Amino acid sequence: RAAEWQLDQPAWSGRLRITAKGSTAFIKLEDKTSGELFAQAPVEQFPGIAVESVTDSSRYFVIRIEDGNGRRAFIGVGFVDRGDAFDFNVALQDHFKWVRQQSELARQAQDLEQGPKLDLGFKEGQTIKLNIANMKKKEGATGNARPRPAGPGGLSLLPPPPGGRSGPAERPPSLPAPPQLPGTPITDSLLSWPQPTAAPAADVWGDFAKASG
| 85: CATH | 2.30.29.30
The C-alpha torsion from 30 through 36 and 38 to 44, rounded to 10°, is 60
The stretch 88-105 carries a mean pLDDT of 92
Q: Report if residue 13 sits inside a domain.
A: yes
Answer yes or no: is 93 within a domain.
yes
In a domain, 18, yes or no: yes
In a domain, 98, yes or no: yes
Least confident of 61-70, 86-95, 124-133: 124-133
- pTM higher than 0.85, yes or no? no
Whole-number percent of the chain with pLDDT over 70: 60
Instruction: Report yes or no on 74 lying in a domain.
Output: yes
Residue 72 belongs to a domain: yes
- The number of domains in the chain is 1
Q: Is residue 168 part of a domain?
A: no
**148 in any annotated domain:** no
State the residue range of the domain holding 79.
Answer: 2-114
pLDDT at 9 over 90: no
